[in-house]
Amino acid sequence: MSSVTTTFNHKALIRIAVVMAFIQFTNALEYMMFNPVFAFMAADFAVPVSFSGYVSGMYTSGAVLSGIIAFYWIGRFNKKRFLIANMALLGLLTLLTTFTSSFSLLLTLRFCAGLAGGTTMGVSISILINLAPTNLRGKLLATVIASFPMISIAGMPTILFLCAHYGWHVALWLTSTLCLLAMPLIVSIIPQDTVSFDTPHALPLDVNTLLFASSNALVQFSPMLVIPVLVPLMTQQLGGSQYLLPWLFFAGGIAGYLSTKMTGALTPHFSAVSLATGSTFVFLLALLIPVMGYSNPTLFIILFLGASYSRLVSSSAVSIQFPDDRQRAGFSSLQSSIMYLITTVAFFLSSFLLSGHSIAQQNMNTLLGVCAISASGFPIIVIILQKKLAKRTLQPNHLIND
């Protein structure tokens, strides 16, 4: 660990983690809100609501491209300044969206937003992890990841409320403002990054790098199969009322937040395999609820989202050990890029498995079966990653050559 880590006490690291969590909350909200918000936007752009897939797809395309570029080049930039520029650009692009009614221009703006937002998570997490001692990394990662369930708790309900009562323009203005508010927080709380004039030693894009970089995406593939159909699953299959949907998502968000904090606190005390196995077991229990025909949407979403976020924390705590400090920003950007790519694949596969105007129980069970099978391999992935990390410590220059 570099000497810079010792200059930051626990409280300072927590403050940095909270700022990073706010950045992640804003960045993820800006990306995730366009699926539901486009229902309010479509008429102004003279396109059907079903075109929301194109809007999300353009963002994802930009995010994948920027993540791959950042993998090779981010080591040459001051990461604090890069983060400030990203948030400024993201806020500007979101603001510009409210001043156009051209669908083609909207797609262009969303692609550019993906270029900026696609690297934000990787760069911010790399800054935090490089400052943190090993024993605190799991806890700090959990603090940042906890920002995602906060979107279900506070972010999305607020956005939808603004859309319903004041129009979608106001919702986007709020998101743009959050992006701009992140800038002074970065300036005042995030420590200055130092850039070496030496040529950075980039990670080779080999099998091991791709394995570690894709681990989070592979873990999230399973819940992402179900996310697009959560609403019909809970209303049609589990008997939940549409009036209860906001409260169901609120309960799921609370469960996700608590599970991330709990998993982060348990990371120093339990092995990654134990945490991965336990969270996967709970995840499979959640899938059994609709398969067995139990009408309990509250229990389902609590177990489903709680286990999903716990699995993500466990995976992140292992995969982040792979790169060294100089390589972590590029690695994290590649990790985010693969996450966007796998998420897109999961969304398309979900639509393919549930093709048709109505969702039949048999098709839903097929989707849940694929979800369960893909989720079951998570503990095995953790074992493989840990074996490779252990082998690396026995080799010079921290290389894995098998």
**Residue 51 CA, distance from chain mean position:** 23
| 203 has pLDDT over 70 | no
Candidates 338, 346, 226, 355; CA nearest to 291 is 226
Tens digits of residue pLDDT in 44-64: 998 876 676 678 778 888 888
CA–CA gap between residue 93 and residue 100 (Å, rounded): 11
CA–CA gap between residue 343 and residue 1 (Å, rounded): 33
Amino acid at 211: L
| 190 has pLDDT over 60 | yes
CA–CA gap between residue 250 and residue 156 (Å, rounded): 10
Minimum mean pLDDT range among 63-72, 78-87, 100-109, 198-207: 198-207
- What is the per-residue pLDDT for 280? 95
Tens digits of residue pLDDT in 13-34: 888 889 999 998 999 899 888 8
What's the mean pLDDT in 136-154? 80
**Residue 368 CA, distance from chain mean position:** 21
- b/e sequence 182-205, b meaning 16+ C-beta within 10 Å: bbebbeeebeebeeeeeebebbee
- What is the per-residue pLDDT for 3? 40
Candidates 115, 139, 54; CA nearest to 313 is 139
- What is the per-residue pLDDT for 230? 78
pLDDT band at 2 (very low <50, low <70, confident <90, very high): very low
| Every domain range in the chain assigned CATH 1.20.1250.20 | 1-196
The answer as to CATH 3.40.50.2020 being correct for domain 1-196 is: no
Q: What is the mean pLDDT of the chain?
A: 83
**Residue 328 CA, distance from chain mean position:** 17
| 126 has pLDDT over 50 | yes
What's the mean pLDDT in 262-268? 86
CA–CA gap between residue 183 and residue 82 (Å, rounded): 11
pLDDT band at 186 (very low <50, low <70, confident <90, very high): very high
CA–CA gap between residue 225 and residue 108 (Å, rounded): 27
What is the 8-class DSSP label of residue 235?
I
Taking the CA of residue 312 as centre, how many other CA atoms within 13 Å lie in the half-sphere pointing to its CB?
29
| 237 has pLDDT over 70 | yes
- What is the per-residue pLDDT for 165? 87
CA–CA gap between residue 196 and residue 13 (Å, rounded): 23
Q: pTM for the whole thing?
A: 0.73
